[in-house]
Amino acid sequence: MRHLIDEVRAAIPFDADDARVCSGDCAGCSQKLLDYLEGELEAWQQRLAEGDRPSLADLSRLAKTARKIHRVLVRNGILPRVADRG
């Protein structure tokens, strides 16, 4: 879980100014999505610090949420498109 949290924090610009500004034309509110994901990451960091052990389902849920938010940020122009790794 710690590794997943580190990967998400590295891939998503939580502190980028352009991610916090509403352009009016978007596929989802980038600011609200970033706030939500940051809250989820912080909650898991707290749980891990308290000794909680995540299940495989917990890991899967967080990864799925992060992927969906990443896609919205790409659609909104906050993150660059990445070439397929096929």
Give per-residue pLDDT as tens, 46-56. Answer: 999 999 999 99
- The rounded percent of the chain whose pLDDT value lies above 90 is 58
Write down the pTM of the prediction: 0.82
pLDDT of residue 31: 86
* pLDDT category of residue 81 using cuts at 50, 70 and 90: confident
* Dist CA 39 CA 27 (whole Å): 21
Q: Is 81 helix (H, G, I), strand (E, B) or coil?
A: coil
- Angle at which helix 2-11 crosses helix 30-49, to 10 degrees, equals 150
